[in-house]
Structures are given as structure tokens and as C-alpha cells.
Amino acid sequence: MTYNSGYEKYVASLNGYLGRLIEQEDCKIIEEKIMDSRIDESKVIWNPAKAEHLIGKKVYAFARINGTIVEGVLNAIEDTRVLPFTVSDGICTVNYIFICPMPEPTYAERQKKWVQENNVSVGTKIRFIKNFNDREDGSDCFCHLDVLGKTGVILYVTDDYIAIQVGENKWGCPFTALEVIKDEYRQFNDEEMKALYGKTLLGRHGMPNMVTTVVYYAGNICIEGDKFVFDAEELLKSDFTIDGHKCGVLI
């Protein structure tokens, strides 16, 4: 008998343990699924005994039960005799016929994730956390070996680098050399708290709240409105804003 796929050979080697050999048509469907996906056929693993190094890593997996290829994390190899790849795809856990390690994310994919997680946009302030070489971390950047600790602002973002304005200079930089500088505020002092009398603060959903009273309570100057009473520390930590900023003084 001639076997035309890695999976067919693997099932045949089980000597009937599954009760029957996989049919030729099933093998054809699997091979077509591989060709239509991003899977590198040379890296496909059919034998669970050879996949222990992938436990805890992201993989592609093929489920014969519904003929789909999913992306997930290999949780366990429960039995090296029968289709035992157990993969979590974020919805459920089922057994799969084969697995294949997912390719490492590209520089563009990693940068996109960093931009989203750090809410980066044009004008975002950054600090350099390391110097960098040409093509650092897969980017399309030239080296800068004296930028550690310097600050700048983001001009624009491409798939290959982030453009930074540093003084009069404009540099293409890898995101891995950057950290976002978050605005820091100090709380209002007593005089600044008193000056809030009659001012309007905006709540979480943009609802206006006017400061109607300034009182001295429990050793602190407090402001009071229809729905709040805050001292300076509580006000800074609250969701209220004034003139588009946190209720404090930008340092």
C-alpha cells in the first residue's frame, strides 16, 4: 500500500488502533487545507511524541471533526497513540489531527501591538530606553548609539519604524527602543483647591458638575458639588477632569 501524506503514514503505523485507516479522500482534504493556509508544510507534526517542545506555544492545528484549521496554544499531549493534540483556541478545547508551530510575529505585527497597547499617536511623548543598531530588532532603522535617556515626540508610524522628532532631528526608530512618557500631575494645594469654587468639572461620561462649596473638613480643604466631595488627593485620583486635564497640576 502506498501512503501519500504524513498523516496517512502516521495512522497506518498505529496498526489498526483507531479501528480503521484514514481514507484517501480525508488525506486529500487535509493536504488542501494545508496548501490554502499559512502553514509551512515542512514543519507540520503528525506524531504527538515529537511535539513536546511545543507545549505552551502557539500552533496551527487541524480538527478533522469539522475540517478547520485554528490558531491556539498547545496545552497538553495526553496520549501518543491517538490524535491527542489538545489545543485551546480561546473558545473550547478539542483534539486535533496535526499541529504546526506558528511563525514568530513580524516586526510590523509586534510594533502594531505595542502602538495599540500604549495608545500611541502623532504627538505622543517618548523616552529612549536604549541605543540601537542598524535594522535593530527587525526594523528598518539606522543606528543611533547616543540616544539613551533622550526624549522626543512621535511624528508618524510606518510598518518598519516609528519616526521621532528629537530637537531639530528626525529619526526612524524601532519601537523596542522607546517608552511612552505619561503625563504626571501633582495634587492641587489649598489655594488651588479654593480657586475651584464655581468651576465646572466633567465626570467620566462628560457629565458637568459645578463646585458649589469649598469647606475645611478633617484637616483638609475639600470641594463639594451635587454628587461629590473630594479633598485634593481624592480629586486627583478621580475620573473628573477640568479643561480637558486631570484635576491636578501637570509637572
**Rounded distance between C-alpha atoms, residue 197 and residue 210, angstroms:** 8
pLDDT digits (tens, 9 = 90+) for 130-155: 999 999 999 999 999 999 999 999 99
The CATH code of the domain that includes 67 is: 2.30.30.100
pLDDT at 7: 46
Largest CA distance in the chain: 92
* Alpha carbons 180 and 172: distance in angstroms, whole number: 16
172 and 245 part of one domain = no
What digits encode the pLDDT tens for the residues 114-126?
Answer: 999 998 988 899 9
Number of domains in the chain: 3
> Whole-model pTM?
0.52
Using the structure block, give the residue that is written with the C-alpha cell 530606553: 129
As a whole number of angstroms, the distance between CA 82 and CA 96 comes to 10
Domain-ending residue, one of 146, 180, 214: 180
Same domain (yes/no): 67, 97? yes
State whether 11 and 97 are in the same domain. yes
Residues 223 and 173 in one domain: no
Q: Which of 191, 230, 13, 218 lies closest to 5, judged by CA?
A: 13
Q: Does any domain span residue 91?
A: yes
CA-atom Rg of the chain in angstroms: 29
Signed CA dihedral, 122, 126, 129, 131: sign only: positive
Same domain, 26 and 90: yes
Q: Are residues 51 and 135 in the same domain?
A: no
**Domain final position from 101, 122, 143:** 101
Measured torsion, CA atoms of residues 110, 111, 113, 117, in degrees rounded to the nearest 10:
140
Same-domain check for residues 77 and 119: no
Task: Give yes or no for a contact between 58 and 72, defined as CB atoms under 8 angstroms apart.
Answer: yes
* Strand (E) or helix (H) holding 113: helix 107-117
**Mean pLDDT for the stretch of residues 87-106:** 60
Q: Kindly report the CATH number assigned to the domain that includes residue 122.
A: 2.30.30.40
- Mean pLDDT within 197-201: 90
What is the domain extent for residue 70?
Answer: 6-101
| End position of a domain, from candidates 75, 101, 127 | 101
Specify whether 84 is located in the same domain as 168.
Answer: no
Helix or strand holding residue 223 (H, E): strand 220-224
Grid cell digits, residue 16: 489498526
Q: What is the mean pLDDT of residues 9-35?
A: 43
Residue 96 and residue 23 in one domain: yes
Is 220 within a domain? yes
Within a domain: 1: no
Q: Are residues 10 and 79 in the same domain?
A: yes
111 pLDDT above the threshold of 50:
yes
Whether 170 and 115 share a structural domain: yes
Say if residue 179's pLDDT is above 60: yes
Q: Are residues 11 and 63 in the same domain?
A: yes
DSSP letter, residue 251: -
